[in-house]
């Protein structure tokens, strides 16, 4: 009987991305007030309806 050394496979790409330390280079984003208002209004008007295994999106305006 011969013993074979176990060698783990290479880490896949996603595991590498999530295991790397994050840098502290943050960009300060300042969206326009009209952009924030648009997104909030859109999220208030959006309705997702679950029917059996399907999802329907409806914009209520």
What does the domain layout of the chain look like in residue ranges?
31-60
Q: What are phi and psi of 5, to 5 degrees?
A: -75, 135
pLDDT exceeds 70 at position 10:
no
Whole-model pTM?
Answer: 0.44
pLDDT of residue 61: 66
- 3-state DSSP helix/strand/coil percent for the chain, to nearest 5? 35, 20, 50
If residue 33 lies in a helix (H) or strand (E), which one and from where to where?
helix 33-45
- Is residue 1 scored above 60 in pLDDT? no
Phi, then psi, of 56 in degrees rounded to 5: -120, 135
| Number of helices (H), then strands (E), in the chain | 2, 2
pLDDT tens sequence across 13-61: 767 767 666 666 667 888 899 999 999 998 889 898 898 889 998 887 6
Separation between Cα atoms, residue 12 and residue 41, nearest integer Å: 40
């Amino acid at each position: 009987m011969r013993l074979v050394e176990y060698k783990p496979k290479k880490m896949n790409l996603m595991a590498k991305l999530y295991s790397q330390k994050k840098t502290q280079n943050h960009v300060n984003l300042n969206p326009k007030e009209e952009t924030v208002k648009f997104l909030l209004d859109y999220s208030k008007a959006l309705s997702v309806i679950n029917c059996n295994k399907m999802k329907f999106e409806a914009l209520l305006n």
